[in-house]
A and B are shown apart, each in its own frame.
Chain A
Amino acid sequence: MNTKGLGRPIIREIVKIVEETELTKTFYFNGEGLFAKPGQFYMLWLPEIDEKPISACITNIEEGFIGLSIKKVGRFTEEIQQRKIGDKVGIRGPFGKGFNHEKGRKAIFIAGGIGIAPIRSIFDLLKKEQEELVLIYGAQTDSDLVFKEYFTQFTNNVTYCTDDGSFGYHGFPTDILRNFLEKEIKKGGELNYSIYGCGSELFLKAVLDLIASIDQSLLTHTQLSLADRYMRCGVGLCGSCIIDDTGLSVCKDGPVFTGEILAKTTDFGIYGRNPDGSKSKIQPHY
């Protein structure tokens, strides 16, 4: 197997920082040796602080850089947000199996909160190859929505949703997805869609349950990224990220799984794993 990128952290300077919103910044690095496929992730190391999984977001091979969009949600992300241009971080990866681009099917992207980061990576690939792109993107409030102007350049089929109604549709992305699919069904014919999703696991569970209730056959064409889980090795060794009952690792077998596989797990959307390997109920957050 190709072991490129599987090794120790590569140290890179932050070359650019874009403040997307109050809570989210995108950090840019020289991408040499680090280019990811959409849906893969990195382990980001802040020496003497911690190392955490971060989804690949912006991959620009032509211009040679990568960008990682990070929202302040805890100690680690707060720490990175204090870093400045020229500061060094370590990056391992990219790891895992990313999204599988299903050619010949129309694309629906559905994202909750900072789950938009990996969705942008698959959106960027498909925008070069496909006409019809549907994006449904929700967050708690307007100021949590990132890349708004960006997406609007490439598709006019974007629906923004906020829990508090401060921007776009007042309600959940799943409402929009339901309406969209039901309308398509009324038009008749097969639902020739691939659905790509990322967000908190409770959100993804709601997405999956909705799709299952509308059309079971869409489950194999639904791909959800679970990059939000606790990880250590990133390479399928330690077992920190196993999802029961499948025995699959999120880092190596995922982080993207089809709805068909997720529907068979007993953990998805219910239990997460702690650093000691025990499991706890997943708490709601965006």
Chain B
Amino acid sequence: MTDLQTQIGDISIRSPLILAAGVLGTSFSSIKRVYNNGFGAMVSKSIGIKPNAGYVNPTIFLLPETRSAMNAVGLANPGVEDFFEKMKPNLEEKLPIIYSIYGNEEEQIRAIIEKLNQLNPLAYELNVSCPHGGKFGLSVLHDDELFRSLVTTAKKYATCPVWVKLSPNAVNITDYAEIAISSGADAIVAINTLKAMVIDIETMTPVLANKAGGLSGKAIKPIGVRAVYDLYSRFPKTPIIGVGGIETAEDVIEYLLAGASAVEIGTAFAYTDDQEKLGTQINSELESYLKDKGLKLEELIGKAHKE
């Protein structure tokens, strides 16, 4: 075990770096490649009960001026049956995989979880915060009753911890966390992408086919850090996984100081020439930071909160 091991409730992972949902997470081979580059765990693409082709293109493009990305993929995924078959190799390989799942009925969540339980997940990440997921996206989060029932259902059937992924599109993200935690969530993941739009001024058209989408990458980092900070202030006992704009060890440290026990990384994969080294590079920089400061990783968690 390395010095970078971190604890998220009952789960322990070898590095605080986790692959974010929706990035390189539809096939077992790409998930495995990310593990081989030093990540502590990987979140799959968000999986629903039925196959979903998502929106037509353009669905994703980068905004290099802010090292960010826009996407409105629309929860494209092969559906739980197909995905289950594709992930079966993990019964042998036993990689630490968190399955991101979505649905807007208890019955869907039950069926997805009962299927995926067979893969011995490390955890589930319930995605109720996709800003372009239509009736499966943010509208779930904004229906307190439904939101509560989905978390309760997930907890009831899951054979592993259930994390809930929240949106920065909220007046107060901690109010949503309150619902999740009181319904049994084991950890909170924050943040999903921020609802946004880019308009092309030549053709006078929004670039994404869905018009609006989600902003990710460097531009949203301070928003993510604040969300984690607020969550940690109100729920110091609930593990938090910080997401949004992380590219370097400095970014990871900021999130840990705000109160995250681990972090997820997505858009940074588009901004590195060598994807194979992203994880190992950040890991080694984290190690030297800890050595310099003479601190253990767990001592960083929430350290920015002064009495």
Contact = CB atoms under 8 A, between A and B. Distances in A.
A268 to B, nearest CB: 13
Contacts of A9: 58, 61, 200, 207
Given A7-B65, A92-B61, A1 B76 contact: no
A239 B202 CA distance: 30
Contacts of A274: 53, 78
B273 to A, nearest CB: 4
B214 interface: no
A92 B77 CA distance: 24
A112 B78 CA distance: 31
Given A11-B203, A236-B275, A242 B73 contact: no
B270 A237 contact: yes
Contacts of A247: 24, 27, 29-34
A6 B270 contact: yes
Contacts of B32: 247
A237 B26 contact: no
Given A6-B64, A242-B26, A276-B54, A237 B78 contact: no
Interface string B73-113: 10011110011000000000000000000000000000000
A22 interface: no
Contact of B271 (A3, A47, A52, A239): A3
A233 B60 contact: yes
B157 interface: no
Contacts of B65: 7
B203 A239 contact: no
Contacts of B11: none
A1 B277 CA distance: 13
Interface string A4-23: 10111101000000000000
Given A247-B29, A252-B275, A43 B54 contact: no
B266 A237 contact: yes
B270 A8 contact: no
A277 interface: yes
Contact of A235 (B54, B73, B207, B270): B270
A263 B137 CA distance: 40
A245 B29 contact: yes
A72 interface: no
B63 A8 contact: yes
Q: Which of A4, A6, A274, A278 has the most CB of B within 10 A?
A: A278
A239 B58 contact: no
A249 B62 CA distance: 17
Contacts of B252: none
Given A237-B23, A239-B27, A239-B45, A277 B58 contact: no
A45 interface: yes
Contacts of B239: none
A232 B60 contact: yes
Interface of B: 22-34, 45, 51-54, 56-65, 67, 69-71, 73, 76-79, 82-83, 198, 200, 202-203, 205, 207, 209, 266-267, 269-273, 275
13 contacts: A7-B64, A8-B63, A8-B198, A45-B58, A50-B56, A88-B203, A236-B269, A236-B275, A244-B28, A244-B29, A247-B29, A275-B76, A278-B79
- 7 A-B pairs with the lowest CB-CB distances in the bound complex, closest first: A247-B33, A3-B64, A51-B57, A247-B29, A11-B202, A278-B78, A277-B26
Interface of A: 1, 3-4, 6-9, 11, 43, 45, 47-48, 50-52, 88, 90, 92, 232-240, 242-249, 252-253, 274-278
Given A9-B200, A243-B29, A247-B31, 20 more contacts: A1-B273, A6-B64, A7-B61, A11-B202, A43-B57, A90-B200, A92-B61, A237-B267, A238-B24, A238-B59, A238-B60, A240-B76, A247-B32, A247-B33, A247-B34, A274-B78, A276-B52, A277-B26, A277-B76, A278-B78
